[in-house]
Amino acid sequence: MRVLLVEDDELLGDGIRVGLKQYQYTVDWVKNGVAALQALQTEHFDMVVLDLGLPRLSGDEVLKSMRTKNINTPVIILTARDTIDDRVKGLDIGADDYIVKPFDLDELCARIRAVQRRTASRAEPTITYENIVLDPAARTVSKDGQSVELSRREFVLLQMLLENIGRVLSREQITQSLYGWGDDIDSNALEVHIHNLRKKFGNDFISTIRGVGYLLEKSKKE
């Protein structure tokens, strides 16, 4: 999952960035509202963690502009504003969740997972597909009850496919979720990840839609 972190406090922003990366998220960090809107209008992100007291353009204005422009990326507000009125306003203008500083990183990650479940219309904490079970919180995957070792990006790719069963994911969409700014990307990196998943789950596990992207077919058991 690729997260856009919008936070102008250098110390706090760096701490969140490092912490989220330890939880295996791809994190890109901007420090003002204008940069946040520019990033959101040109690239794909799976989640936004948004401070409200930002320079150049406030977090409230960033969120209002996002929703006006039909940018539906889920947003978690992370702010020191702690009144009920502030929370109600933040949620009413389009936030998916609201966390007051100071906060615990474990809670932030749990909130990210909860918003991700709601976005994917999924109630269960784990994702089950035929004989495969993926646990986003524990970062584990099993097949027929046996643990399967995946790299960080293989795990993210598998979760994307499982949350979009029956829908084609474009190469660009997948690549932008797997890699952030400054990451080195080999020209065949995505093909390598797809090959590794097929090797672990079966050659016909992922369908290639030529010229478009990749697809995980609906389960034959449904």
- Dump pLDDT digits (tens) for 106-142: 999 999 999 999 988 888 889 999 999 999 989 999 9
Mean pLDDT of 71-80: 95
Three-state DSSP class for residue 177:
helix
Secondary structure of 23-47 in HEC code, one letter for each residue: CCCEEEEECCHHHHHHHHHHCCCCE
Tell me the CA end-to-end span of the chain in Å, nearest whole number: 27
Q: Which domains are assigned to the chain?
A: 2-119 (3.40.50.2300), 127-215 (1.10.10.10)
φ, ψ for residue 113, nearest 5 deg: -65, -40
> Which residues have a Cβ under 8 Å from the Cβ of 142 and sit 6 or more positions away?
132, 133, 148
pTM value is 0.83
- Confidence (pLDDT) at 101: 93
Amino acid (one-letter) located at 29:
W
Contact criterion met (CB below 8 Å) for 5 and 30: yes
